[in-house]
Amino acid sequence: MRFVKGILFSLLLLIFSAPLAAQEEQEATGAEEEFDPGTFILAHIADSHEWHILTKKNGESVAIYLPVIVYQKDKGLDIFSSRRLAEGKEYKGYKVVEEEGDLKGKIVNVKPDGSIDEKNLPLDFSITKAVVGMLFAALIGLWLFVSLGSSYKKTGISNPKGIQSFLEPVVLFVRDDIAIPIIGEKKYEKYMPYLLTAFFFILLNNIIGLIPFPPPFGANVTGNIAVTFVLALCTFLITQFSGNKHYWKDIFAAPGVPVWLLPIMIPVEVIGMFSKPFALMIRLFANITAGHIIVLSLVCLIFIFKSLAVAPVSIFFVIFMDCLELLVAFLQAYVFTLLSTLFIGLAVKEEH
Amino acid sequence: MTGTMAAVGAGLAVIGAGLGIGRIGGSAMDAIARQPEASSKIQINMIVAAALIEGAALFAIVVSLIAKG
């Protein structure tokens, strides 16, 4: 129990340090130029090839430069540090686009005459900020659950203590309140690994995204639509591959539907098949991104008004919003898992 | 102009979300008043329904973010 209290207390402290960290970062540059909250916020939400820590008074930026891994068919695979591409420099024929537009922030090929090749984009496998955040969350999850498993091996299913007492109720909650009621006693076990993975992956990434400091924390992973796309794709593939005969019959030849109505029903059902995971993707992405944008905007209030008197009000609101975001983190993980279970349950349902 | 219209669209979407979640909250309160011992079940279902409605409203926010270009 003390262990649990310790974790929760330190989490709370870290979350409260959010406004302080952002303040220190901005004071260095606030003096020279007009503060633009829009670009500041969008730069913090978006993925990037370097992990920006602060910008010194003379304009130099202190950042952790992450590796860039690009592949272009005639040039082959190139791995180098993103420091070579920092501030618009060009290296080995690659360049990061700085002008506004569709390609902003992406790595492009530079043609021999110096212009950007807009049609032929290289394949970008770089380790960006979101990838580092994801790997870090995966490491934490791995550590938590491997130690959970090994402590069960040592003591058996007995009185839980330590990390067990923290994780066991959550795992049992996913099994007893989500999986069994919806998928059913006989078939739920096959899908438990995926449901637990989805739940804890989303939960860990949400929480880590809320903690701003130090560097592996604070990466906006679940607020990246590519990540939520892959999660929704996993749910989609699992539902389709475990669909039984009744599931496919319901889509293509629903019982009780007159034949002349089928040309309308089939497209509607197929669209429904795709729109459900699509909604999963958008829901998670928008909730987490909206939360980050709100917290960042409230902190930016201090810099827009340029007065210290706004600070207590702003920080109070930020603390409140951070607590709300913590609730949203749990809730979104739960809703994603619940809806995935519902779709899987629909796919494996027996005719009664 | 597209920026203003996008903002107006987002605001309209929030009206729908607010009405929906308000109705859910109201029904949940009525149900809890009728049967206080079921209050934790009702609360969980209320939060889930609110999250789903919020998902729909956030669809609209995403569309307005895309529309502003």
Cα–Cα distance measured from residue B69 to residue B59, given in angstroms and rounded to the nearest whole number: 16
Residue pair B55/A282 in contact by the 8 Å Cβ criterion: yes
Residues 6+ apart with CB under 8 A from A4: A165, A166
The confidence score (pLDDT) of residue A147 equals 86
Nearest CA in chain B to A101: B69
Whether B8 and chain A come into contact, CB under 8 Å, resolves to no
Number of residues that this document lists for chain B:
69
- Closest by CA to A215, choosing from A52, A328, A92, A333, is A52
Q: In this predicted structure, what is the pLDDT of residue B44?
A: 82
Angle at A234 between CA A228 and CA A239, to 5 degrees: 130
Q: Could you tell me if A101 and A188 are in contact, meaning their C-beta atoms sit under 8 angstroms apart?
A: no
Residue ranges with strand state E in chain A: 50-55, 61-65, 67-72, 76-81, 90-91, 94-96, 107-110, 116-117, 123-124
Q: What is the pLDDT of residue A238?
A: 93
Q: Note whether B54 contacts A: Cβ–Cβ < 8 A.
A: yes
Residue A114 is predicted with a pLDDT of 73
* Domain ranges, ordered by start, for chain A: 67-124, 129-348
pLDDT number for residue A309: 85
Reading the block at residue A251, the tokens are: 């889509």
Interface contact flag, B55 A285, Cβ < 8 Å: no
Does residue B64 register a pLDDT over 70? yes
The region that residue A92 occupies, defined by phi over 0 for left and psi between -120 and 50 for alpha, beta otherwise, is: left
pLDDT at A26: 44
Q: What is the DSSP string of A31-82?
A: TTS---HHHHHHHHHS--SEEEEEE-TTS-EEEEEPEEEEEETTTEEEEEEG
By Cβ distance, the residue of B48, B61, B62 closest to A335 is B48
Per the CB < 8 Å rule, is B62 touching A282? yes
pLDDT score recorded for residue A12: 64
Cis previous bond, A258, omega within 30: no
CATH 3.40.250.10 fits B2-67, yes or no: no
Positions of chain A with pLDDT under 70:
1, 9-33, 157-161, 352
Is the complex ipTM higher than 0.85? no
Q: pLDDT tens digit string along B14-48?
A: 999 999 999 999 999 999 999 999 888 898 889 88
Test the A interface: residue of B61, B63, B64, B68 with most A CBs within 10 Å:
B61
State the amino acid at position A103 in one-letter form: L
